[in-house]
Amino acid sequence: MKTIGHSPKWANFETMRIQILCFLTPWISIFLVGCGTVTTNPIEKALASKNENIRRVVHNLGTHEVQILFSKIEKDSSGAASFNEFKFQVNDSNYFYPASTVKFPVAILALEKLATMPETINRNTFYQFRGDSNRTTLSQDIIKIFAVSDNDAYNRIFEFLGKDYINTQLHRKGIKARISHRLSVENSADLNHKTIDFYINDSIVFTHKNTTARAIKPLELRQLKKGIGYTINDSLVKKPMDFSKKNYLPIESLYGIMKRIIFPAYFSTNEQFHINDADRAFLINAMAMVPKEAGYDNDAYYDSYVKFFVVGDNKAEIPQHIKLYNKVGYAYGYLTDCAYIVNSKTNTSYIITATIHVNENRIYNDGIYEYETVGIPFLAELGRQLINLKME
């Protein structure tokens, strides 16, 4: 595994090195033409691009908290895969807010939990919370999670699994994470999980009783207190925001989850997610689904609505030869994407996982972030550079 930017103390060095590469790249290219092919770190090459969407971030790497993990997948004549992996500033001890990427492992664990339930229950069985009028299925909720990153769908599945179950299962599989709360609701960290009834027609066939989770312990990581202030109900609190009890899902873990789903045989039995073949095929299909395929209005929910790499800065249809199986997250100025990308024209595939922070005023929860002007353009161009794709 080839790694760069391992430790925070090297942040300034990495910034300087990439900026030097931006200047030297044209001359290096001329030299390589004369001297033959030399293997280049693809992340360094991408970050040395003259493209303005890359350059504006590279010139301020320290404030953008960029982390990138890139893997090009090679297959031999028998179909066995190998992973040529590169990292940039990846450090699980440096906290970033994972936002909706936590929906990825939670959706998988919901399918896995079905194996522990009565045989009459499957992902198409309707379920409903006591006191709630909404009746839905895990299939519907998982599609909503990947097609438009629906928060209510995630919150229902979080409620079904329970905080402690989620974290216990991830830790047993060797996945570093701490998922502690719901998203975009009051009392998001409520430790009480509601009773759920499962229905066939109008008859209750199984009741999943309410539970109470253990208290949330503060994380012990670097960079947990961020910014110069945050807002609560339109009031500004002039002190750093404390993320120590928020969700935690680092780059290495996201990459590992994606790899477990697409290439499960490369993990031990204990490290794998145990879902049946039909549910795994359903999950992978949902990961690639664009909103219109899930019934959403195409004008409001365009193809790249929740797909940042390669196409995120373009609202046109995704080219048919490009498939993106992914989960994004964006909140508090953090943009993160984890994607398995397949180019059927070139018969190549990749896994890219990256995060960027865009919060120029350093105030959290005020809704003022540079998602559209800095973050998404960077991730889209980064994706194109890494998979050597020029959009027509």
DSSP per-residue codes, 15-28:
HHHHHHHHHHHHHH
Question: For position 28, what pLDDT does the model report?
Answer: 37
Do the Cβ atoms of 125 and 252 come closer than 8 Å?
Answer: no
Do the Cβ atoms of 138 and 132 come closer than 8 Å?
Answer: no
Q: Domains plus CATH for the chain?
A: 2-386 (3.40.710.10)
| CA 222 centroid distance within chain | 20
Question: For position 9, what pLDDT does the model report?
Answer: 44
* Pairing of the two strands 241-242 and 225-226: antiparallel
List phi, psi (to 5°) of 198.
-105, 135
Question: For position 43, what pLDDT does the model report?
Answer: 98
% of the chain at pLDDT higher than 70: 90
Question: For position 325, what pLDDT does the model report?
Answer: 98
Nearest to 174 by CA among 269, 265, 243: 269
Question: For position 17, what pLDDT does the model report?
Answer: 55
Q: Which helix (H) or strand (E) element contains residue 286?
A: helix 277-288
Q: Which residues contact 35 (CB under 8 A, 6 or more apart)?
A: none
d(CA 296, CA 17): 44
Question: For position 124, what pLDDT does the model report?
Answer: 98
Question: For position 40, what pLDDT does the model report?
Answer: 79
Low-confidence spans in the chain with pLDDT less than 70 = 1-39, 391-392
Question: For position 319, what pLDDT does the model report?
Answer: 96
**Half-sphere exposure in the Cβ direction for 130 (13 Å, CA):** 9
Question: For position 274, what pLDDT does the model report?
Answer: 98
